[in-house]
Amino acid sequence: MTNMTNRTAFVTGASRGIGRACAKALGEAGARVILAARDTAKLEEVAYEIPGAMCIAIDLASAESISEAFAKAGNVDILVNNAGITKDGLAMRMKKDDWDAVLATNLTGAFLAIQQVLPGMLKQRWGRIINISSIVGETGNPGQSNYVASKAGLIGLTKSLAQEIASRTVTVNAVAPGFIETDMTAALSEDVKNNLLTHIPLRRFGTVEDVAAAVRFLASEEAGYITGHVLDVNGGMYM
């Protein structure tokens, strides 16, 4: 397993699901993990599972909250931009507030978090920025124009930033999960699940650990020659 003993990893949306799994995977690899989310009570629960983990409250929709959180964190070597929200609805009826809220958290928040860690990464000439996008950011999805736009935007941000800072040996990559076993998919009917599975060549939903393994690899020394890449973790659903 990759040794990240001298690295500090900052994971947003770390209180549950994919973020929680990513934080655990990085912690198991030896990184000092900073858990960030709005719900600090849930973060404390995650912290019990990761020796030496630090909990910081953050609201990705607030520039002030983001700057305060990273000021507490200190130097960050690995940033995992995982936090995200949904406010689904048909485009014709979508309220501007719902559009703004999703873009503010999922895309602008991720960008502002990146701005906070860049000075330190560029100075030390080492860093890993990993943005959690989504399969729908590549394929589109009806009823999710705001969410899809935010996830597609993360892919564009990833590719542009990767080119901008590659000379300092800081890599920027994205992970695009497909259908992952979470509370959301657990609520789907058997008919819907079975229909989805027919479109997944591996014939199973992914696990949060599947996504975390991809993130851990991209954060490692072994992934040092990979940048500007979108790593699909979707069972072959989109190629």
Q: For the chain, what are the domain ranges?
A: 8-232
Answer whether 78's CB lies under 8 Å from 219's CB: yes
Please calculate the CA angle 91-138-134 and round it to the nearest 5 degrees: 85
Task: Output the pLDDT for position 2.
Answer: 76
The one catalytic residue in 48, 147, 225, 238 is 147
Task: Output the pLDDT for position 184.
Answer: 66
Please calculate the CA angle 131-132-136 and round it to the nearest 5 degrees: 125
Task: Output the pLDDT for position 109.
Answer: 98
Other beta carbons within 10 angstroms of residue 93's beta carbon come to 7
Answer whether 157's CB lies under 8 Å from 111's CB: yes
| Mutual angle of helices 40-47 and 17-28, in 10-degree steps | 30
- DSSP tag of 87: -
Active site residue 147: yes
Answer whether 227's CB lies under 8 Å from 182's CB: no
Q: Name every residue whose Cβ is closer than 8 Å to that of residue 134 and which is 6 or more positions away in sequence.
A: 147, 148, 151, 176, 177
pTM (two decimals): 0.97
- Alpha-carbon span 76 to 117, nearest angstrom: 6
Beta bridge partners, 35, equal 11, 55
Q: What's the N-to-C CA distance of the chain in angstroms?
A: 28
Task: Output the pLDDT for position 3.
Answer: 87
Tell me, what amino acid is at 125? R
Length of the chain in terms of residues written? 239
- Alpha-carbon span 113 to 235, nearest angstrom: 30
Task: Output the pLDDT for position 1.
Answer: 55
Task: Output the pLDDT for position 189.
Answer: 87
CATH class of 8-232: alpha beta
Please report, in tens digits, the pLDDT of each residue of the chain (239 residues total).
Answer: 578 999 999 999 999 999 999 999 999 999 999 999 999 999 999 999 999 999 999 999 999 999 999 999 999 999 999 999 999 999 999 999 999 999 999 999 999 999 999 999 999 999 999 999 999 999 999 999 999 999 999 999 999 999 999 999 999 999 999 999 987 677 788 998 999 999 999 999 999 999 999 999 999 999 999 999 999 999 999 99
